[in-house]
Structure 1
Amino acid sequence: MKVSVDQDSCIASGQCVVAAAEVFDQRDEDGVVVLLDAEPAEGQAADVRHAADVCPALAIHLE
């Protein structure tokens, strides 16, 4: 799985961090998503998919 994020679309809700903290973080200054791991381990796939599903801005893209 490859993960990408659209920081311009992010509304800093933090749902991605709650769902998959090993893959996503937020910038301190504005809360915008930061991608920590663009190719997470297979064991993290369910959490990453959940993060993409709950993102209100649809800023997380999976391949």
Structure 2
Amino acid sequence: RIFVGYDNRVLIPVSALLGSIFTLFCDLLARVIFAPYEIPVGIIMSFLGGPFFIYLLIKGNRGQLYD
């Protein structure tokens, strides 16, 4: 919403595009990190997306974990 605003006609396609780009990036990392072996894409996505999700939870709660 920061980049494209609140218009759902733009927000939904941009979200789908960014989600697919993130998935492709994680798939590329999963194939390249340990070259002869492949890591499941979900592991890479959780390592990259997990901390970001926790950041969003803390930011949405205005920095207060316990209220």
TM-score computed with the length of structure 1 as normaliser: 0.29
Q: Which has the larger radius of gyration?
A: 2
Select the structure that is richer in helix.
2
TM (norm. structure 2) is 0.28
Q: Which has the higher contact order (CA 8 A, sep 6+)?
A: 1
